[in-house]
Chain A
Amino acid sequence: MMNIRIIYATILCFLFPFFGSGQGSILVKNGTVLTVTKGTLENTDVFIEKGKINKLGKNLKVPEGTQIIDASGMFVMPGIIDAHSHIAIDAVNEATSPNTADVYVGDALNPLDVAIYRALAGGVTISHAMHGSANAIGGQCETIKHRYGVINPEELRMADAPRTIKFALGENPVRVHGEGNNIAPATRMGVEQVFRQAFSEAKLYMKAWEDYKAGLTQSSPMYNRRLETIVDILKGNIIIHCHSYRADEILMLLNVLKDFGIKKICFQHVNEGFKVAPELAAFGASASVFSDWWAYKFEVYYSTAYNAAILTRNGVVTSINSDSDELIRHLYLEAAKTQRYGDLNDDEALALITINPAKQLGIDHRVGSIEVGKEGDIAIFDKHPLSVYTIPQKTIVDGIIRFDIKNDAPDMRLDVNPEDKFASDYLEEALIKEDNCLQGVSEWLLQSDHASYLRFIYSQRHSH
């Protein structure tokens, strides 16, 4: 009993400086500042006041008592943004229907996930907590700030970030619903019709409400949150983030969107995006890709690690994402791979993990570069972040240090429960690599005779 009290007390002491999602003031002195959008500034100070970048320049005068970090010889870059992850959420897939637009990942946020801290230790300050890819129309997602240390899920949200929703094409929805449940879609033809049906019905629903409000009908239509969400997509209030791989299915969705006048779309994974880069650019669609993942399933067999470079050269706004609690720890390495595979220059490579994912999430006016007026999200590295030898030193969110390689304890869990015997157990490594968008689908799907593949996968990997 005594022991337990000591542990709790220690945890509370350690948490104290973190409590709250507040906004800090801090001066990062004399670093090489990689602004991403405005070039590189040598020996420059960055002053963050009350969570916002207030000044950039040499030998800045700041109010007395301001916390100062000496970044001499170090590299200061905008906090890294991951446009596709599944950390900090307790549920990923509501795999019960090809269309689950009514559900919302933001209802399942878990600020205690130690993966948030490990992402911070890789300079990542914002991630896009996404619904999985079991359904053609998945749930709505949440853009979170990595304020590790907060306990209240509300404080993890990036307030006023645009709403986003997960769509999914290809093998995953087909496997889950067609193979697994014997309902459409079982092919890419069926996937298209899920979208056409949803958008068409949403238009009828919208019309029914308009008619009712105009007094043309007597009784109101029944409120339907699934349709409400689709209506908001039609109105341009929600950005679609669509899990996709093959060129043909990407073009299919572009055609559907054109027919319904929808413009805001970011394709996720999009391994064959390089084949239709001109079409993506012409539509104004963006792409969020893996640096080098391929061959883990058939629809990524004809891939190339040069995808990001080809998309960038064709004028598509491109980001590199993790979709993994492993890759999220070194997105700067993943971005640097575009220099081996496609010769992107430093600013182009850094944009893949900063300003470009910010654009895809609709938050580029607030974050994604080091500019006066933007939010104080910063990552400090000992070497250039695109060098393979670089090590993140400090990560700052809203002017508050959330990762500090020198001062943090080795064990940074927030959910230490002395009664929980699983808490410090060793987890087997995920032996099979796959996009992590099918988490949570396993249990019910495994009952299906057709799901030998999934049985194979899930017998090998740990679940989150």
Chain B
Amino acid sequence: MQILILLCVLFTQNISAQQIKKAVAGPFLLKNGTIHSITNGNFVADLLIQDDKIVSIGKNIAIPPKTTEIDCSGKHIYPGFIDGGTRLGLAEIESISVTNDFQELGDFIPHMKALTAINPNSVSIPVTRVNGVTTVFSKPERSTFPGTGALIDLFGYTPEQMFAGAEGVMMTFPSTGRRGRFDRRSDEDIKKDSDKAMQKINDIWTKAKLYATIDSALTVEKKPKNTYNPQMDALLPIVRKEAKLFIEVNKKDDVEAAVKWVKENGIRAVFTGVAEGSRVAPLLKENNIEVITGPVLRVPGRGSAPFDESYRNASEMVKAGILVAIRTNDAENVRNLPFNAAYAASFGLGIEEALKCITINPAKIFGVDKTYGSIEQGKTANLFISNGDPFELKTRIEYLFIRGWNVPMESRHTLLYDEFIERNPGK
């Protein structure tokens, strides 16, 4: 009988070792860690997490009953990293189109909502968390108005649980020039195509303004709308300057054209991609354009460009005074966000500014800086504890909290490691 019990115990332990661990709720007291607040410098203090918030930071904090203490002496506490542009949760296996939900058919479909298609169980989500990324902006892409992106926390069982309170209508600005060597259109055709594309977005915008005027009039007169036009409805907040438009634009000439376009139409714009931003930084600054740039780890767009143009891009724009966030524009390897930031740091940006580009800056751009992007009392408890500089590869992220939940640092990648580092049976 005893043997049987022993076997049972062994067996259940073995089973539980195979399962994904569950997140644990607080309160948590992080004792004596070096807090990298981003907004108020670095200092050693205790930090209390209760429910989903950082409730206090300081010394000798009064703690509620059943608080779990974590000794953070010699450890570092950073706010969770925020990736300003990904396909995480929308793309599972990139080569299998039915597992990808970031590109709906149609060229003018701003009402397509990323949030509805976010897969909370995407295998890539736990893989991303291990490097301290807690929040990402996931977006539809490719067509001219591909849809509305959503800011999500990388923890939760439903998209609603994950939603971090910000959405943004996306636009891909028409590319004005040749797309590359394979593009064998004549100069004339290129001009024709780009004129056509510009005409198209101008038409859309003229209609959007008219639609907004009619909509306002109907509201004033308290008359019901008798049309169904979800595309135009999605643009209303942008026409009314209540929301920003996220415009994907990379090449220098295109950025210049896009600046002109948003100026003419009075649009509050965030430019995304902006691979050649360093070539037009003053123009972007003059027009108060905010930027989500990246990946930093990409080949410069022109053969003539210096080898480090992409590495230096964020730095040049930050130096010009632009509000800049860094993105990976990736799906399964969003975990490389800190390394993208680190390369920008080495090539002119500096570590402090690079950290801002993946914490408080994206929070500001998405309008959630009251609750996200730094370690401050009252903010959402999205943070992690590391044993060193989180950009360095030798550093380990030891604990990660999203909305106050202590989320285990487990993923398909760690589980496969645990299983196969010593295979049983071996040879």
Residues 66-93 of chain A, each 1 if its beta carbon lies under 8 Å from chain B, else 0: 0000000000000000000000000000
Contact between chains at A292 and B333 (CB < 8 Å): yes
| Interface presence of B330 (CB below 8 A) | yes
Q: Which residues of B contact A171 (CB under 8 A)?
A: 95
Contact of A426 among B123, B302, B342, B347 (CB under 8 A): B302
| Interface presence of B177 (CB below 8 A) | yes
Q: Which residues of A contact B374 (CB under 8 A)?
A: none
Which A residue sits closest to B347, measured CB to CB?
A391
Which A residue sits closest to B331, measured CB to CB?
A295
Contact between chains at B413 and A426 (CB < 8 Å): no
Contact of A339 among B298, B347, B393, B417 (CB under 8 A): B393
Q: Complex: how many Å from CA A463 to CA B96? A: 20
User: Contacts A388-B392, A427-B181: A453 and B423 contacting too (C-beta < 8 A)?
Assistant: no
Interface positions of B from 385 to 402, Cβ below 8 Å from A:
391-396
Q: Complex: how many Å from CA A306 to CA B414? A: 8
Q: Which one of A14-22, A32-40, A271-279 contacts B?
A: A271-279
- CB of B293 to closest CB in A, whole Å: 12
Contact between chains at B302 and A434 (CB < 8 Å): no
Contact between chains at B303 and A413 (CB < 8 Å): yes
| Interface presence of B285 (CB below 8 A) | no
Q: Which one of A156-164, A181-189, A255-263, A322-330 contacts B?
A: A322-330
Contact between chains at A428 and B330 (CB < 8 Å): no
Q: Which residues of A contact B417 (CB under 8 A)?
A: 274, 304, 306, 309-310, 341-342
Interface positions of A from 267 to 326, Cβ below 8 Å from B:
274-275, 277-279, 282, 292-298, 301-306, 309-310, 313, 325-326
Q: Which residues of B contact A337 (CB under 8 A)?
A: 393
Q: Is the interface of A mostly helix, strand, loop or mixed?
A: loop
- CB of A299 to closest CB in B, whole Å: 9
Q: How many A-B residue pairs have CB under 8 A?
A: 183
Contact of B346 among A115, A282, A294, A391 (CB under 8 A): A391
Which B residue sits closest to A423, measured CB to CB?
B303
| Interface presence of B299 (CB below 8 A) | yes
| Interface presence of A432 (CB below 8 A) | yes
Contact between chains at A117 and B181 (CB < 8 Å): no
Interface positions of B from 54 to 79, Cβ below 8 Å from A:
none
Q: Which residues of A contact B392 (CB under 8 A)?
A: 387-389
Contact between chains at A295 and B416 (CB < 8 Å): no
Contact between chains at A422 and B178 (CB < 8 Å): yes
- CB of A112 to closest CB in B, whole Å: 10
Q: Which one of A4-12, A23-31, A454-462 contacts B?
A: A454-462
Contact between chains at B301 and A121 (CB < 8 Å): no
- CB of A109 to closest CB in B, whole Å: 18
Contact between chains at A295 and B393 (CB < 8 Å): no
Contact between chains at B394 and A339 (CB < 8 Å): yes
Q: Complex: how many Å from CA A191 to CA B391? A: 43
- CB of B347 to closest CB in A, whole Å: 7
Interface positions of B from 372 to 427, Cβ below 8 Å from A:
391-396, 412-414, 416-417, 420-421, 423, 426-427
Interface positions of A from 234 to 269, Cβ below 8 Å from B:
none
B123, B252, B392: which has the most chain A beta carbons within 10 Å? B392
| Interface presence of B139 (CB below 8 A) | no
Interface positions of B from 140 to 179, Cβ below 8 Å from A:
141-142, 175, 177-179
Q: Complex: how many Å from CA A26 to CA B29? A: 58
User: Contacts A117-B307, A292-B336, A341-B413: A456 and B92 contacting too (C-beta < 8 A)?
Assistant: no
Contact between chains at A457 and B95 (CB < 8 Å): yes
Q: Complex: how many Å from CA A91 to CA B333? A: 29
Contact between chains at B304 and A423 (CB < 8 Å): yes
Contact between chains at B182 and A463 (CB < 8 Å): yes
Contact between chains at A296 and B332 (CB < 8 Å): yes
Contact between chains at A301 and B93 (CB < 8 Å): yes
Contact between chains at A295 and B339 (CB < 8 Å): no
Contact of A453 among B92, B95, B303 (CB under 8 A): B95
Q: Complex: how many Å from CA A64 to CA B131? A: 51
Q: Which residues of A contact B93 (CB under 8 A)?
A: 295-298, 301
| Interface presence of A336 (CB below 8 A) | yes
Chain B positions near chain A (C-beta within 8 angstroms):
92-97, 123-124, 131, 141-142, 175, 177-182, 187, 250-252, 273, 275-276, 297-299, 301-308, 329-333, 335-336, 339, 342-343, 345-347, 391-396, 412-414, 416-417, 420-421, 423, 426-427
21 example contacts (A-B, Cβ-Cβ < 8 A) are as follows A275-B420, A293-B333, A296-B94, A296-B332, A306-B421, A310-B420, A340-B396, A342-B417, A387-B393, A388-B339, A388-B342, A388-B391, A411-B305, A412-B307, A423-B303, A424-B303, A425-B181, A426-B276, A432-B94, A433-B94, A453-B95
Known: A115-B299, A462-B179. 10 other contacts (CB 8 A): A171-B95, A295-B124, A296-B332, A304-B413, A339-B394, A386-B394, A411-B305, A411-B306, A426-B180, A429-B273
Chain A positions near chain B (C-beta within 8 angstroms):
114-115, 117-118, 121, 171, 274-275, 277-279, 282, 292-298, 301-306, 309-310, 313, 325-326, 329-330, 333, 336-337, 339-342, 386-391, 410-413, 416, 421-429, 431-434, 452-453, 456-457, 460, 462-463
